[in-house]
């Protein structure tokens, strides 16, 4: 086996080519490549030169088979030589780019971070050059890219958070490129990205002697960068990805704060924070005695919080969750944006007394501040919700409940519950009572919130089922296997449901509970139906009303006349309604004028009727007075004549035609002298 070649010369020649390509682009352009994705054509010349250099590599670390070797041995030697050549090529290329990056960072630091824009532009172009080489030259440049960004982040993180945060903008803008052209969801890629991101986030966490996170020793000003790192890795990895995670990865395990106060309620409130931070710690047998003490404190705090919540909700009822608030005005949006842009988010209650120990004045101030915080309904709701979640967690960890859970997800016998510890029945019962008390109180005061808490625990149980077994019992595949639905899957599912629940179109079959609802549900609905609705025209309706008036003046048929009047009334009502909806005051002016004229006409008619009635009464009164002056016989005759005249007037009013006939009969009777019986009787 012969050994020859020079790695150092190869790395130097490749480094010179990378530096030349980057400098040429920087000199010919003034764009900000940290935030902009360059065109791939900028690296065409560099790709050609790099490909030629790769072809010219002469690093002879190959084995030569003997002449008497078998074909199998020759094949094995050939495969070995191919692997060695690829490894050598990958080593040269990786060393080349790491060498270029180290030199750029070294110059940047030695110059006291001068020409910052040029430095970040050069780093961005180097990484984009690696992507172009991967797409156009050789696949080995993918791992080179991941190694390069890991190296850059570690070096810049040592300088300052501001520097690494500025470089992080490059990775955020390249997420579409990474997802579409680089990332293929292989274990090596996931491990490379997680190793880079975990290194950045873990260095911002400080732990105490017990291994718990101490939030007071953490630089909270770096929380923004830590969140950006988490958003980046979350946007690339799948939701169900658990690479490098154990089943307890979701535990916060923070050190809980404590202050000295004479109020037992506040002391218990701070003490139960230990359960919220790391509930799994108290599942160990040596900690179950502490858990019994904490259960009593949880019951006391929960009882006090529920009493305060009940008193508060008696005067402040719960809000309507279906209420849609109107959108805010632009001025209000600008005001709120400016107001909250200056405020900084603090995730926990940071007490002053914890930074300087044995200060009673600061301890008292912190206790007063905590008491005022817990008077707020939002803080009280957060604490009740935390107690409810922890109580639900511990109440599910008895042997009986764990077996029921495993049977509900159809887990095979070899699968164990994801929580190893088991609690005694008395502790489980105590947490169950706390959970019931919270549900009983919220059912009366705030049912919407109770609905949210119940579904939160249901979602948590589904999460447990995925952590414990993670497979569908029917298909034996992951819950998230083939999560992207195709059109064929949707049609097949639709056909399946149609066969299970067929639509009944019989005459008297109630598809939707009752016949009335069934008929209404068959009516076509939707925005398309509204768009096709006819638009009511006022001018056309007025023209149609005039046409109906002309027909009414000409028709004599009673039925046709009634139909026309009904149609006119409907059109008039629709016209008035449309006019009122557009301009209510203008539309009602005509109606008011007409109403006033009708009232005046009715008033004149009533006045005339009153005058006629007054004249008739005065005539009757005069006649009565004259009768009083006459003799009794004359009075009787005059009264009979008056009664006869009134009767004749009534008859004439009722039927003028009969009145004429009666007058004719009276005249003929007078001429014959046969109609004087009434007068004769009166005289007698």
Domain layout of the chain by residue ranges: 7-236, 264-319+355-468, 487-531
Q: What is the average pLDDT across 656-668? A: 43
Q: How far apart are CA 102 and CA 26, in angstroms?
A: 19
The pLDDT of residue 456: 92
pLDDT 10s digits, 484-530: 777 888 888 888 877 776 665 555 556 676 777 777 777 777 777 66
User: 510-545 burial, b if ≥16 CB within 10 A, otherwise e?
Assistant: ebeeeeeeeeeeeeeeeeeeeeeeeeeeeeeeeeee
31 has pLDDT over 50: yes
What is the number of other CB atoms lying within 10 angstroms of the CB of residue 101? 21
620 pLDDT tier (thresholds 50, 70, 90): low
655 has pLDDT over 50: no
149 has pLDDT over 90: yes
Task: Enumerate the β-bridge partners of residue 478.
Answer: 471
Q: How far apart are CA 394 and CA 412, in angstroms?
A: 24
Q: Which residue has the higher pLDDT, 97 or 249?
A: 97
Q: How far apart are CA 84 and CA 81, in angstroms?
A: 5
627 has pLDDT over 50: no
Q: What is the average pLDDT across 23-46? A: 86
251 has pLDDT over 50: yes
661 has pLDDT over 50: no
The pLDDT of residue 676: 40
pLDDT 10s digits, 223-232: 889 899 999 9
Written as one string, the DSSP assignment of 151-162 is HHHHHHHHH-HH
* Mean pLDDT rounded to a whole number for the chain: 79
Give which of 30, 38, 57 is closest to 130, Cα–Cα: 38
Of 40-49, 120-129, 162-171, 210-219, least confident by mean pLDDT is 210-219
Q: Which residue has the higher pLDDT, 302 or 64?
A: 302
Q: How far apart are CA 458 and CA 464, in angstroms?
A: 10
Helix, coil or strand: residue 239 = coil
348 pLDDT tier (thresholds 50, 70, 90): low
Q: How far apart are CA 40 and CA 136, in angstroms?
A: 10
The pLDDT of residue 534: 64
The pLDDT of residue 141: 86
Region class of 253: left (phi > 0), else alpha (psi between -120 and 50), else beta = left
The pLDDT of residue 419: 83
What is the number of other CB atoms lying within 10 angstroms of the CB of residue 119? 20
The pLDDT of residue 507: 55
Q: How far apart are CA 664 and CA 658, in angstroms?
A: 10
φ and ψ at residue 158, rounded to 5 degrees: -70, -25
683 has pLDDT over 60: no
Helix, coil or strand: residue 420 = coil
12 pLDDT tier (thresholds 50, 70, 90): confident
Q: What is the average pLDDT across 240-249? A: 70
Of 17-21, 338-342, 520-524, least confident by mean pLDDT is 520-524
Q: What is the average pLDDT across 413-418? A: 84
152 has pLDDT over 90: yes
pLDDT 10s digits, 527-580: 776 665 567 788 888 889 999 999 888 888 888 888 889 998 988 888 888 888
Q: How far apart are CA 221 and CA 251, in angstroms?
A: 23
The pLDDT of residue 78: 80
Helix, coil or strand: residue 573 = helix
Q: What is the average pLDDT across 100-115? A: 89
Please tell me the chain's helix, strand, coil percentages from 3-state DSSP, rounded to the nearest 5: 70, 0, 30
The pLDDT of residue 113: 84
Written as one string, the DSSP assignment of 8-60 is HHHHHHHHHHHHHHHHHHHHH----TTTSPPPGGGGHHHHHHHHHHHHT----
Supply the DSSP symbol for 243.
T
Max mean pLDDT among 331-345, 421-435, 465-479, 642-656 falls in: 421-435
Helix, coil or strand: residue 652 = helix
The pLDDT of residue 178: 92
Q: Which residue has the higher pLDDT, 544 or 6?
A: 544
671 pLDDT tier (thresholds 50, 70, 90): very low
662 has pLDDT over 60: no
What's the full length of the chain, in residues? 684
641 has pLDDT over 70: no
The pLDDT of residue 617: 59
Q: What is the average pLDDT across 236-240? A: 83
Write down the pTM of the prediction: 0.54
633 has pLDDT over 60: no
pLDDT 10s digits, 363-397: 888 888 888 888 888 899 999 999 999 999 999 98
Q: What is the average pLDDT across 102-112? A: 90
Q: Which residue has the higher pLDDT, 470 or 607?
A: 470
8 pLDDT tier (thresholds 50, 70, 90): confident
Written as one string, the DSSP assignment of 525-546 is -SHHHHHTSPPP-HHHHHHHHH
The pLDDT of residue 391: 94
Helix, coil or strand: residue 213 = strand
The pLDDT of residue 357: 66
Percent of the chain exceeding pLDDT 90 equals 21
Helix, coil or strand: residue 337 = helix
Q: How many CA atoms lie within 13 A of 504 on its CB side?
A: 12
Q: Which residue has the higher pLDDT, 542 or 481?
A: 542
651 has pLDDT over 60: no
450 pLDDT tier (thresholds 50, 70, 90): very high
Supply the DSSP symbol for 502.
P
């Amino acid at each position: 086996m012969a050994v020859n070649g020079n790695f150092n010369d190869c790395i130097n020649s490749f480094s010179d080519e990378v530096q030349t390509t980057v400098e040429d682009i920087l000199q010919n352009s003034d764009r900000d490549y940290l935030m902009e994705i360059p065109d791939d054509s900028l690296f065409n010349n560099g790709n050609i030169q790099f490909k030629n250099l790769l072809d010219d590599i002469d690093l002879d670390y190959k084995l030569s088979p003997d002449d008497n070797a078998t074909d199998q041995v020759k094949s094995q030697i050939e495969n070995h030589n191919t692997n060695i050549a690829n490894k050598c090529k990958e080593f040269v290329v990786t060393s080349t780019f790491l060498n270029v990056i180290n030199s750029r960072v070294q110059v940047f630091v030695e110059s006291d971070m001068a020409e910052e824009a040029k430095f970040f532009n050069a780093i961005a172009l180097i990484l984009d050059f690696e992507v172009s080489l991967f797409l156009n030259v050789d696949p080995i440049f993918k791992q080179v890219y991941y190694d390069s960004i890991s190296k850059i982040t570690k070096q810049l993180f040592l300088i300052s958070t501001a520097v690494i945060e500025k470089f992080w903008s490059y990775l955020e803008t390249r997420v579409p490129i990474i997802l579409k052209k680089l990332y293929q969801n292989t274990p090596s890629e996931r491990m490379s990205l997680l190793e880079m991101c975990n290194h950045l986030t873990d260095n911002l966490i400080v732990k105490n002697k017990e291994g718990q996170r101490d939030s007071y020793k953490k630089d909270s000003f770096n929380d923004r960068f830590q969140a950006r790192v988490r958003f980046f890795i979350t946007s690339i990895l799948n939701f169900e990805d658990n690479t490098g995670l154990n089943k307890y990865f979701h535990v916060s395990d923070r050190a809980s704060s404590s202050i000295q106060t004479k109020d037992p309620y506040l002391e218990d409130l701070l003490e139960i924070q230990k359960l919220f931070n790391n509930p799994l710690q108290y599942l160990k047998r040596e900690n179950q005695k502490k858990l019994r003490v904490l259960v009593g404190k949880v019951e006391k705090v929960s009882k006090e919080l529920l009493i305060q919540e009940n008193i508060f909700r008696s005067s402040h009822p719960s809000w309507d969750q279906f209420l849609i608030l109107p959108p805010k005005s632009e001025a209000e949006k600008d005001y709120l944006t400016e107001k909250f842009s200056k405020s900084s988010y603090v995730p926990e209650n940071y007490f002053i007394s914890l930074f300087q120990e044995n200060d009673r004045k600061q301890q008292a101030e912190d206790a007063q501040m905590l008491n005022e915080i817990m008077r707020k309904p939002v803080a009280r709701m957060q604490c009740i919700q935390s107690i409810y979640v922890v109580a639900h967690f511990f109440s599910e960890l008895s042997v009986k409940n764990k077996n029921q859970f495993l049977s509900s997800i159809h887990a095979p016998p070899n699968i164990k519950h994801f929580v190893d510890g088991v609690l005694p029945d008395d502790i489980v019962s105590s947490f169950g009572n706390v959970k019931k008390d919270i549900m009983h109180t919220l059912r009366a005061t705030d049912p919407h919130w109770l609905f949210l808490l119940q579904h939160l625990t249901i979602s948590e149980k589904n999460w447990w089922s995925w952590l414990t077994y993670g497979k569908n019992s029917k298909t034996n595949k992951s819950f998230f296997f083939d999560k992207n639905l195709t059109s064929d899957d949707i049609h097949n599912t639709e056909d399946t449901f149609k066969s299970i629940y067929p639509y009944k179109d019989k005459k008297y079959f109630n598809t939707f509970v009752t016949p009335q609802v069934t008929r209404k549900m068959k009516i076509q609905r939707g925005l398309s139906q509204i768009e096709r609705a006819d638009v009511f025209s006022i001018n056309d309706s007025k023209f149609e009303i005039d046409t109906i008036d002309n027909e009414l003046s000409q028709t004599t048929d009673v039925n046709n006349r009634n139909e026309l009047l009904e149609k006119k009334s409907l059109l008039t009502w629709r016209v008035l309604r449309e006019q009122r909806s557009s301009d209510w005051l203008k539309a009602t002016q005509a109606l008011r004028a007409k109403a006033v004229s009708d009232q005046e006409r009715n008033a004149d008619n009533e006045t005339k009727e009153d005058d006629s009635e007054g004249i008739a009464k005065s005539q009757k009164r005069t006649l009565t007075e004259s009768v009083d002056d006459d003799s009794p016989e004359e009075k009787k005759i005059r009264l009979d004549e008056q009664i006869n005249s009134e009767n004749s007037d009534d008859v004439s009013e009722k039927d003028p035609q009969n009145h004429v006939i009666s007058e004719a009969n009276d005249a003929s009777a007078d001429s014959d002298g046969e109609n004087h019986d009434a007068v004769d009787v009166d005289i007698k």
